[in-house]
Structure 1
């Protein structure tokens, strides 16, 4: 695999270059001192992976370079190499296209393993930060599930009305069945469509069918 190393310290670039070039399946094709130079070298060499430091003062940072490189050269995998054991940094770069996040104090074997995993299409996160990443995705999935749960979106009265609408009952019939006024039925239907982002009665019926409200 062809690799570019971007770090503002020459001794770090040289050290990692020796480690990676020693591997039979790795070749460091270039090194950069900041994000702008990293971008230019990616454009020139089109590497498989760029090992990118987050902070490279006074030049362009890895935070900025990550998004630019991912957008213009998506075939190049980005692995962040940093001293920052920070959840916010990790989430930011992963959301902006990075495939790996590893700390500079990690053993050489971990770095090599991480690069191979990313090269094969995987994602690597330093073990000390994996728990935070899992927690973030679990919370996100729960939030999305809540947003699509009619029992958490609709009121009790709306949940009573929805299956009756889906079964084809008119406003007057529903009003009589629930002992409420026709205007109240119409108001609840309007609120349901607003909450569920639906435009008309057919879409409301389709939603009820999808959510199995006809069984109610």
Structure 2
């Protein structure tokens, strides 16, 4: 391909973040050469519209419409990686290679106490459940739309992440921070895939995607 027709690289961020936060220009400029870099805000995040309480399949359809039919490489982190796993098999998305960073092997959202979370967001008591309290903390960070994020979580929980139910056929790079407990199961996920590599980089769940090692791993894998 020429520089004018180079395959785009699409980036999906994590929960309660936004594209510019997880994939900042200051870190990624020049990393992929002249390839177009498309940074998407997930529904209910950043500048993206909320979808309400809808199942995972509806979220995937919305992302597929945003991405379009042209062939891409796809990079997802955390929630973005969970969605990218399924987007790689979506009939309206053409993914050549897939990078999944900080991907949890399980489904946390079904364990969130949504009534307690909604009460806390509305000014009530902090949830006693640690996972729910963490979700509330993330949802209420400055700039986030807490109620819309909880709607998204409620909808995703109705169709939980079930990696054994269908796997991407594309080459996949699974990246995890060396100190990221959430990504501890990526070796097991790799065992499900027909063509997968696993690489660990410095950092925990928050810092790993901002390391030079993470960027170099993405660059090298997508250059093949």
TM-score band, normalised by shorter chain:
0.3 to 0.5
Instruction: Specify the structure having the higher radius of gyration (Cα).
Output: 1
